[in-house]
Chains A and B, each alone.
Chain A
Amino acid sequence: MRNVWTIARREIRLYFASPIAYIIGLLIFLISGIYFVLSIYLAGQAAFTTGSTTAPGPDLVIGLMVFLFLFAVPALSMRLMAEEHRNGTLELLLTAPIHEWELIVGKWLGSFLFVFLIIVVSFIYPIVLNGLVTPGIDQGLMMANYLAITLVAAAFLAIGTAISSFFNNQFAAFFATLAVLFFLWVVIGWPAVVMQGSGGIFNYLSMSTHFSSMQAGTVALSDIVYYLSLTGLGLFLGTVAVEIRRWK
C-alpha cells in the first residue's frame, strides 16, 4: 500500500500543478453554480406566482455534476498512464520494485482523490439549500446522492485509468474513455427500453440505472456492488494492460 500512496501523492501534486485540472474544476463549478442559482430562482418565482410549494431537493446539482463528469473524467484520466509511456518513464516505474497493480491503483487513487475533492467542495450546494428551504433538506436523500456520485466517479476513473494504460496518445485515450463511458451510461440501457420486460440484464449493466435509483434515495447493496465491481474491473484491466506491455 505504501507504493500505492507514493504514486497517488505524485498524481495529486501533478493535478494541482496542472492548468487543465483547474480549468475542469472551474468549469464544473461554474456550470453547476449557474444551474443551482437559476433553479432556486425559478423555484422561488414559481412559489411566488403559482403558489407552488415544491422546493428543489438535495439531488439538484448531483445529476448535472455526474453528466459533467462524463466529460471531465476522460480529460483527467487520459494522461495517467499514456503519458508515462510516451515519456519513457513507464520503464522507470516498471524497473522499480513495485507491482503493476500498485502502479495502477496509485494512479487511480490520485485521480479519485482530486475528483473527490470536487465532490466535497460541492457540498456547499446542499448546505446553502438547507438554509433556504423549510424545514431543511432530506439528509438521507442527500447522503444517498453523494454516495452515488462518489461511486460513479470511482468507476469512471477506473475505466479511464484502464483505457489510458492501453494508449500511448492521451487524446486517443480521452476519446476512447468518453466513448466507453457514454456507452455504459446511455447506450447499454437502450435494449432494455426496446425489449421492455425482457431487457433486465441491460438495465442492470447500465450505469445510469443504478445511479437513478440511488439518486431517488434507494441505496441497494446491488448498486454499491455494481459500482465497486466496475471499479475493480477497471483496475484489473489496467493492470493487465501494463503486463501486456511488458510481454509485447
Chain B
Amino acid sequence: MIRTTNLTKDYGARRAIENLTFEAKQGEVVGFLGPNGAGKTTTMRILAGYMPPTFGSAQIAGFDVVEESIEVRRRVGYLPETVPLYSDMTVFDYLKFMADLRHLPNADEMVDNALEMVQMEQRADGYISNLSKGMRQRVGLAQALLHKPEVLILDEPTIGLDPAQVVEVRGIIREIGKERTVLLSTHILSEAQQLCDRVLIINKGRIVAEDTPENLQARLVGAERSILRIKGDAEELMPIISKIIGVQDAKIRPDGAVEFQFAPGVDVRPEVAKTVINSGFDLLELSPVGLSLEEIFLELTRDDAPTK
C-alpha cells in the first residue's frame, strides 16, 4: 500500500531525510518513531502529497506521489501534526466542505459516519472555535477518515490529549488499522508498542531500525536477562550464582533482586532455580527482563549508534 524507495528531501542545504526505503501493507499499522526533527513529518508530508521529495520515489496504492498526486490524495487520509481546522465553521460545515472537495457521494451521510466514528455527533453543530483540544483532534481525525481512505497517515495523533482521550483515539486507530494501512508517527514509545504491528525507528533522516516491537527488543538485547528474588539477603547468594556455568554479569539491583545475563539459546534458568533451592534459599521470583522500547530507542538514536 505504501512503498518508498530511497526517499530523500533537502531543505536548502539541510538534508531532512535520506534514502528512506520501506513498505507498509494493507491492514498493517506501522509506527514511525524518532526524536523531534528526525524527519517524520517531512516523510509523512511527502506521502500525503503535500510536497515532492528531492530524490527517490514513493507510491501509495500503486500511484506515484509526484506524478499521480491527485490519485494519491484521493486515497490518503491525512492528519497533520497541527490539526488544520477552520475555527469559523461548525464541525459539520467543516467536514461537509472537505467532503465536497473530495466529491463524496452522500456527503451528509459520510460526514455523519465520520462523526460517529470519533464520537462527535453531539457536537456537529458547534463551532470549532469552541472545542477543546481533544475534540479538535477528533474533528481532525474525522476529516482524515471522512472518505474511508485506503491509507491513513497520522502525524502525532494523540499529542496534547488527556489520558482518557488518548485511550479513545488509540481505540479508533486500532479499529481502522484492522482493514486499512495506517502510518502513524509518535514519540510515545508505549503507544507504538500498543498500536503498531511494525515500528520504523528514524533518526537524523535515516531509518535506524525496522521490525516488530518484540523483535526489536530481542535483536537489541544480544543476551537474555533475568532477575531472581529470594527471601533473605541476596549477598549470600552471589558467590553461588556466579559459579553456575553460563551465568554472566550477575549483580544485585538497588531493589535487592539479583540480575544476571546469559547467552541467547543457553537457558540457564532451570539450573539457577535448582541451585538456589538446593542451597537452602527460598525462591520468590525468577523472571525475564526485556529492554523496554524506551531503552531500544535511546540505544538506536545515540549519536554513535550504528545504522541498520
Q: Which residues of A does B touch, CB under 8 Å?
A: 2-3, 6-7, 10, 14, 17, 87-99, 246-248
Q: Chain B: interface residue count, which band?
A: 20 to 34
Q: Which residue of B lies closest to A99 (CB)?
A: B70
Kindly state whether residue B246 has any CB partner on chain A within 8 Å. Answer: no
Q: A interface, by DSSP: helix, strand, loop or mixed?
A: helix
Whether B103 contacts A2 by the Cβ 8 Å rule is yes
Q: Point out the residues of chain A lying under 8 angstroms from B124, CB to CB.
A: none
Q: Of A2, A7, A88, A95, which contacts B48 at CB under 8 A?
A: A95
| Chain A residue nearest to B71 in the complex (CB) | A97
Contact with A along B75-106 (1 / 0, CB 8 A): 01010101111101000000001101111000
Instruction: Write the residues of chain B forming the contact surface with A, with a CB cutoff of 8 angstroms.
Output: 11, 45, 48-52, 70-71, 73-74, 76, 78, 80, 82-86, 88, 97-98, 100-103, 143
Please determine whether B85 and A6 come into contact, CB atoms closer than 8 angstroms: no
CA distance A14 to B97 in the complex (A): 13
A186 to B249, CA, bound (A): 85
Does the CB pair A246–B84 fall under 8 Å? no
Q: Which residues of B contact A97 (CB under 8 A)?
A: 70-71, 73-74, 101-102
A sample of 28 cross-chain residue pairs with beta-carbon separation below 8 angstroms, ordered by A number, consists of: A2-B100, A2-B103, A3-B101, A6-B100, A7-B101, A17-B88, A87-B86, A88-B80, A88-B83, A89-B84, A89-B86, A91-B45, A91-B50, A91-B80, A91-B82, A91-B84, A92-B80, A94-B49, A95-B48, A95-B49, A95-B73, A96-B98, A97-B70, A97-B71, A97-B73, A246-B51, A247-B52, A248-B11
B101 touches A98 (CB 8 A): yes
Q: A10-B97, A97-B102 are in contact. Are A92 and B76 (CB under 8 A)?
A: no
Q: Nearest residue in A to B98 (C-beta to C-beta)?
A: A96
Contact of B143 among A92, A94, A248 (CB under 8 A): A92
B50/A94 in contact, CB under 8 A: yes
- Nearest-neighbour CB distance to chain A for B257, whole angstroms, equals 50
- Which residue of chain B has the shortest Cβ distance to A14 in the bound complex? B88
Bound-complex Cα distance A87 to B74 (A): 23
| Chain B proximity of A89: nearest CB distance (Å) | 4
Q: Is B101 a contact of A96 with CB atoms below 8 Å?
A: yes
Q: Which residue of A lies closest to B78 (CB)?
A: A95
Given contacts A88-B80, A92-B98, A95-B73, 11 further A-B contacts (CB under 8 A): A3-B101, A6-B101, A10-B97, A89-B84, A89-B86, A92-B84, A93-B101, A94-B50, A95-B78, A98-B70, A247-B52
Cross-chain contact B51 with A6 (CB below 8 angstroms): no
Nearest CB to that of A90 among chain B residues? B84
Q: Which of B73, B97, B100, B101 has the most CB of A within 10 A?
A: B101
Residues on B with beta carbons closer than 8 Å to the beta carbon of A3:
101
Measured CB to CB, the closest approach of chain A to B66, in angstroms, equals: 10
Residues of A within 8 A of B102 (CB): 96-97
Q: In the complex, which of the residues A7, A10, A88, A94 contacts B82, with contact meaning CB atoms closer than 8 Å?
A: A88
Give the interface centre of B50, B71, B85 by most chain A CB atoms within 10 Å.
B50
Can you list the 9 inter-chain pairs with the closest CB atoms, starting with the nearest? A92-B84, A97-B73, A89-B84, A6-B100, A88-B82, A97-B74, A95-B48, A96-B101, A88-B84
CB-defined contacts of B98 to chain A, threshold 8 Å: 92, 96
What is the bound-complex CA distance between A7 and B88, given in angstroms?
Answer: 15
Question: Which A residues touch B73, using CB under 8 A?
Answer: 95-97
B82 adjacent to A95 (CB under 8 Å): no
Verify A246–B50 contact, CB threshold 8 A: yes
Nearest CB of chain A from residue B49's CB, rounded to whole Å: 6
Closest CB in chain B relative to A106 CB, distance in Å: 10
Q: What residues of A have a CB within 8 angstroms of the CB of B76 in the complex?
A: 95
How near does chain B come to A223, taking the closest CB pair, in angstroms?
Answer: 36
